[in-house]
Amino acid sequence: LAKTTQPISMDSYEGQEVNITCSHNNIATNDYITWYQQFPSQGPRFIIQGYKTKVTNEVASLFIPADRKSSTLSLPRVSLSDTAVYYCLVASIYNQGGKLIFGQGTELSVKP
């Protein structure tokens, strides 16, 4: 499982766009990039997943450059309720349904 590196913490203000970058230099050809969100005292929640280029859903966008050695989670116009820890994970497609290894995550604090 490829190791990931994220900033430990980030601060933002309501209404701003937040971009959280994750480095995964050793990503393998068969690896997908997945992001989870965790609020205090709750289990994580799946946000978005991608392999290359750009993926967008109702919650966020995920940008993946051609070399796939990093990825950026973009949260548009954050609100106070987006204050949470965001985890970037990399795992193989052959791991489908398999275990996930969480890194340290990025603690996002959104201020009024």
96 binds another protein (CB under 8 A): yes
34 binds another protein (CB under 8 A): yes
**Exactly one of 11, 14, 17, 93 binds another protein (CB under 8 A); which one?**
93
Backbone angles phi, psi at 70, to 5 degrees: -150, 170
**Exactly one of 44, 68, 84, 108 binds another protein (CB under 8 A); which one?**
44
54 binds another protein (CB under 8 A): no
Site pattern 64..83 for another protein (x: CB under 8 A): --------------------
The residues that touch another protein, with contacts defined as CB under 8 A, are 32, 34, 38, 41-46, 49, 87, 89, 91-93, 95-105
